[in-house]
């Protein structure tokens, strides 16, 4: 299948940040890592809703287009099985390793996110709200809320 993908453009400062932060760092997804480290360091990230590049989507892709209901159900199943919690473990480890590159506010957001994942239900909700995390779509945010509620994020 062919899917359209959004483009990523970075300036030299962002490129240097990506190179520095990626050295000996395990990451789940290169484009997601670029978003996390650039925005975490205070860089500007502009989300372009208009896809412009074609790429091949196949059954062995770890992540990718989740436009069909079947792929959304598979993604929900992954959430319930703890896949996203595992991915967040990897992302957190990478961000903690590069914590000095983050703004003070984003260091605090990261700490709230880490604490939230190991807190009781109401404290978890409060700390997730304080962390400021969100997804780009309504369904993504509903999935995030479900994951927070059942402690699978």
Report, as an integer, the average pLDDT of 104-114. Answer: 96
Cα separations in angstroms, 31 against 9, 70, 77, 116, 129? 11, 24, 23, 25, 24
Give the model's pLDDT for residue 9.
77
> Nearest CA to 143 among 74, 76, 84?
76
Q: What are 116-147's pLDDT values in tens digits?
A: 999 999 999 999 999 998 888 898 899 999 99
Q: Up-side HSE of residue 42: CA atoms within 13 Å toward CB?
A: 9
Residue 109 has pLDDT above 50, yes or no: yes
Q: What is the pTM of this model?
A: 0.82
Cα separations in angstroms, 147 against 32, 56, 126? 19, 29, 14
DSSP 8-state symbol, 63: S
Q: What are 86-105's pLDDT values in tens digits?
A: 999 999 999 999 999 999 99
Report, as an integer, the average pLDDT of 22-40. Answer: 92
Report, as an integer, the average pLDDT of 66-92. Answer: 87
Residue 5 has pLDDT above 70, yes or no: no
Q: Using DSSP, state whether 20 is helix, strand or coil.
A: helix
């Amino acid at each position: 299948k062919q899917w359209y993908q959004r483009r990523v453009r970075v300036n030299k400062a962002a490129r240097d940040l990506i190179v520095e932060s990626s050295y000996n760092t395990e990451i789940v997804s290169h484009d997601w890592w670029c978003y996390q480290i650039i925005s975490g360091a205070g860089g500007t990230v502009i989300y372009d809703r208009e896809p412009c590049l074609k790429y091949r989507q196949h059954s062995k892709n770890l992540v990718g287009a989740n436009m069909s209901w079947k792929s959304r159900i598979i993604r929900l199943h992954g959430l319930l099985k703890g896949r996203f919690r595992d991915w967040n473990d990897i992302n957190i480890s990478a961000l903690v390793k590069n914590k000095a590159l983050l703004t003070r506010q984003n260091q605090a957001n990261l700490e709230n996110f880490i604490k939230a994942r190991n807190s009781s239900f109401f404290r978890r909700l409060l700390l997730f709200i304080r962390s400021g995390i969100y997804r780009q779509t309504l369904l993504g945010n509903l999935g995030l809320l479900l994951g927070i509620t059942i402690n699978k994020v």
